[in-house]
């Protein structure tokens, strides 16, 4: 990885922190853009009470000087306002405080996490497995988006369905029904990357394939259980002649396609068409009408713990998807065009774009 990030922080801990490394020097950083992305992640129909408490704002504490990147690791911080209500329960020091959570939620990291890390309080597990962590992915992704913008690459997303239904009213009704039943719902979202040059990623080794990197990045988002590139699932039902995007050339010797069923990736490389990534999110495991489980303290049947939570977080997941797509794409750009100084990176990209346009019409 040329661009790497590591993030830390518990959902109700003091703050979330991220170190992002590999962004070229000389990139203008607009913290309002980062904050706007953070606000987008907090939105969407079906979010719970927590989003009324938090107004995520980034603090840039290294790697940026006078609104320009230095090429050194960038540290991004977001304070958890809710920590004010959790100080004793989430204290780094002192004696255990507050009631333990012992009824593991089916579908969550609770049970296996407690066993694996030797904890008898599920809170020790759920605080980090919580999707609150994705705040920092969006902050890091926003920096990558600013870099990609300089490269002529744009990333957007769309929610395609929620709980199996489409259309604004149907979706809203589905979420309302879930909420009034103490239930939750998932959905499918799509991320689109436009403007990427052909030739990011490579077929030469399994771990250089860009579709594999997108798939891993998307699967790492909490509650994502399936990822497809282009019409991946539908293509499996068809003949090759119905699937592959034929290649044409116009009077200016420019290559074009009439279809994009491949989702912009062939042979593990971008092919110049928009990259389309879809992801399926399972329903959030915290149900207000809880499922059957076991109390890990008493080893007796119980109903799962219920905490304040979201009914549906698909719009947030889509914004996180954009961020992960931005990080992976920025990494592929830096891998191919260098990443010390933005000016050099952009020059290399421009020369490459000119060459493949002149010699291949791409
Ligand atoms: C989450 C539970 C909820 C969500 C949270 C993820 O938080 P709380 O328990 O404080 O109500 O709102 O998501 C976020 C805080 C966020 O920023 O996305 C969980 O258990 O995964």
Task: State pLDDT tens for residues 239-279.
Answer: 999 999 999 999 999 999 999 999 999 999 999 999 999 99
pLDDT tens per residue, range 310-337: 999 999 999 999 999 999 999 999 999 9
- Nearest to residue 192, comparing CAs of 45, 37, 321, 315? 321
In short, whether 39's Cβ falls inside 6 Å of ligand 1 is: no
Ligand 1 center to 33 CA (angstroms): 23
Nearest CA to ligand 1 atom 5: 132
pLDDT tens per residue, range 163-179: 999 999 999 999 999 99
pLDDT at 165: 98
187 contacts 162 by C-beta, under 8 angstroms: yes
Residue 160 phi, psi dihedral angles, 5° rounding: -90, -40
Question: Which atom in ligand 1 lies closest to the alpha carbon of residue 126?
Answer: 20
From 13, 39, 50, 101, mutation site for ligand 1 pocket: most ligand atoms within 8 A of C-beta: 50
Q: Which residue has the tokens 């926003």?
A: 142
pLDDT at 108: 96
CA pair distance 342, 69, nearest whole angstrom? 9
Percent with pLDDT over 70 in the chain: 100
Q: Which residue has the tokens 């395609």?
A: 160
Instruction: Give the alpha-carbon dihedral of 170, 262, 217, 58, to 10 degrees.
Output: -70
CA pair distance 189, 191, nearest whole angstrom? 7
Question: Which atom in ligand 1 lies closest to the alpha carbon of residue 134?
Answer: 18
- The number of helices, as runs of H, and strands, as runs of E, in the chain is 11, 16
Residue 153 phi, psi dihedral angles, 5° rounding: -115, 135
Nearest CA to ligand 1 atom 19: 130
Residue 346 phi, psi dihedral angles, 5° rounding: -70, -35
Ligand 1 center to 5 CA (angstroms): 22
In short, whether 308's Cβ falls inside 6 Å of ligand 1 is: yes
pLDDT tens per residue, range 35-73: 999 999 999 999 999 999 999 999 999 999 999 999 999
pLDDT at 158: 98
Tokens of 252: 């200016």
Chain center to CA of 157: 11
Question: Which atom in ligand 1 lies closest to the alpha carbon of residue 54?
Answer: 17
pLDDT band at 305 (very low <50, low <70, confident <90, very high): confident
Q: What is the mean pLDDT of the chain?
A: 97
Question: Which atom in ligand 1 lies closest to the alpha carbon of residue 56?
Answer: 17
Q: Nearest-5° angle of CA 158, CA 225, CA 153? A: 40
CB burial class (10 A; 0-12, 13-18, 19+) of residue 230? buried
Ligand 1 center to 283 CA (angstroms): 14
Please give the C-alpha separations between residue 276 and each of 123, 173, 191, in angstroms, as whole numbers: 37, 28, 6
189 contacts 159 by C-beta, under 8 angstroms: yes
CB burial class (10 A; 0-12, 13-18, 19+) of residue 96? exposed
pLDDT at 6: 98
Task: Judge whether residue 308 has pLDDT over 90.
Answer: no
pLDDT band at 1 (very low <50, low <70, confident <90, very high): confident
pLDDT tens per residue, range 110-147: 999 999 999 999 999 999 999 999 999 999 999 999 99
In short, whether 133's Cβ falls inside 6 Å of ligand 1 is: no
Tokens of 181: 């039943």
Strands annotated E in 131-220: 154-162, 187-194
Across-strand partners of 64?
A: 69
CA pair distance 179, 172, nearest whole angstrom? 11
In short, whether 50's Cβ falls inside 6 Å of ligand 1 is: yes
Question: Which atom in ligand 1 lies closest to the alpha carbon of residue 41?
Answer: 18
Ligand 1 center to 192 CA (angstroms): 26
For 84, other C-beta atoms within 10 Å of its C-beta total 11
Nearest CA to ligand 1 atom 2: 309
In short, whether 9's Cβ falls inside 6 Å of ligand 1 is: no
Radius of gyration of the chain (CA): 22
Ligand 1 center to 252 CA (angstroms): 53
Ligand 1 center to 14 CA (angstroms): 14
Overall average pLDDT of the 145-171 stretch: 98
246 contacts 266 by C-beta, under 8 angstroms: no
Percent with pLDDT over 90 in the chain: 98
pLDDT at 126: 97
Interacting residues of 225 by C-beta distance below 8 A, sequence separation 6+: 219, 280, 281, 282
pLDDT at 24: 98
pLDDT at 309: 86
Tokens of 183: 């239930």
Nearest CA to ligand 1 atom 16: 132
């Amino acid at each position: 990885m040329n661009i790497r990030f590591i993030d830390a922080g518990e959902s109700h801990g003091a703050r979330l922190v991220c170190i992002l490394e590999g962004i070229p020097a000389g990139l203008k950083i607009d913290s309002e853009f980062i904050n706007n992305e953070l606000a987008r992640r907090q939105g969407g129909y079906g979010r719970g009470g927590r989003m009324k408490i938090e107004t995520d704002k980034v603090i840039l504490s290294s790697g940026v000087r006078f609104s320009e990147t230095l090429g050194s690791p960038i540290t991004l911080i977001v304070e958890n306002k809710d920590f004010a209500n959790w100080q004793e329960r989430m204290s780094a020091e002192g004696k255990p405080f507050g009631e333990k959570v012992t009824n593991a939620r089916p579908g969550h990291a609770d049970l296996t996490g407690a066993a694996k890390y030797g904890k008898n309080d599920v809170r020790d597990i759920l605080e980090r497995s919580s999707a609150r962590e994705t705040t920092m992915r969006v902050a890091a992704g926003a920096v990558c988006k600013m870099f990609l913008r300089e490269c002529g690459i744009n990333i957007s997303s769309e929610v395609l369905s929620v709980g199996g239904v489409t259309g604004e009213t149907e979706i809203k009704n589905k979420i309302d029904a879930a909420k009034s039943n103490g239930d939750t719902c998932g959905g499918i979202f799509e991320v689109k990357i436009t403007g990427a040059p052909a030739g990011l990623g490579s077929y030469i080794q399994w771990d250089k394939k860009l579709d594999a990197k997108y798939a891993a990045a998307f699967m790492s988002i909490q509650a994502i259980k399936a990822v497809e590139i282009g019409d991946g699932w539908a293509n499996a039902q068809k003949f090759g002649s119905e699937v592959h995007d034929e290649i044409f050339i116009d009077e200016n010797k420019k290559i074009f396609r009439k279809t994009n069923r491949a989702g912009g990736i062939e042979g593990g490389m971008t092919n110049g068409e928009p990259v389309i990534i879809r992801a399926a999110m399972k329903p959030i495991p915290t149900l207000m009408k809880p499922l059957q489980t076991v109390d890990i303290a008493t080893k007796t049947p119980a109903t799962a713990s219920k905490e304040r939570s979201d009914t549906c977080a698909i719009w947030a997941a889509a914004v996180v998807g954009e961020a992960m797509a931005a990080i992976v794409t920025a990494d592929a750009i830096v891998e191919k065009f260098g990443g010390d100084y933005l000016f050099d990176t952009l020059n290399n990209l421009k020369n490459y774009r000119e060459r493949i346009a002149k010699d291949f019409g791409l």
